Structures are given as structure tokens and as C-alpha cells.
Amino acid sequence: MAKIIVEVMLKPEILDPQGQAVASALPRLGFTSFKTAKSVRQGKRFEIEVDGEPTPAQMAEVEKAAETLLSNPVIETYLVKVEK
């Protein structure tokens, strides 16, 4: 069994208010090593389990789903990879 992972992130030029909220909350909650963090970005992760190794057809279908359903290509980028 393998997992096809789709990671979706906002494009760098898009503001990330949730990431900014997390970045400001970390030091307030005692996570002091993050005081100098340049930024925090929040994203999404989708895991799709398949039997055996993913076929090229499955990978192509996941790529299409990532582009049309799992992400908004206007403001987000995505990465598809396989985890064993």
C-alpha cells in the first residue's frame, strides 16, 4: 500500500492571515524560539491510499484532481508525491 500525498499552499505573493495569526500566537503561548521566525504559512495536505504502487494513470488523475478540486490554481500551488 502506498499513499499519494497532495500538499497545497498559498502562493508566496498571497497574504496568509491564518499563518500570521499562528506566527503571532506562538511566542504568546510560550514557544519562544519562534520569536525570530520570518513567517508562518498554513496549507492543506491530502492523503490518498492506494493498493500497491500508484500507476501512471492514477498519478495523472490525482494531478488533475489537485488542479481542479483540491487547490485553487489562481492563489495556490500544489505538490503531488508518493509516500510508501
Q: Is 4 left (phi over 0), alpha (psi -120 to 50) or beta?
A: beta
pTM equals: 0.87
| 3-state SS assignment for residue 20 | helix
Distance of alpha carbon 59 from the chain centroid: 17
**19-38 pLDDT, tens digit each:** 999 998 998 999 988 777 78
pLDDT over 90 (residue 84): no
Say what the pLDDT of residue 39 is: 86
Give pLDDT tens digits for 47-67.
Answer: 999 999 999 999 999 999 999
d(CA 5, CA 46): 6
Q: What is the pLDDT at residue 6?
A: 98
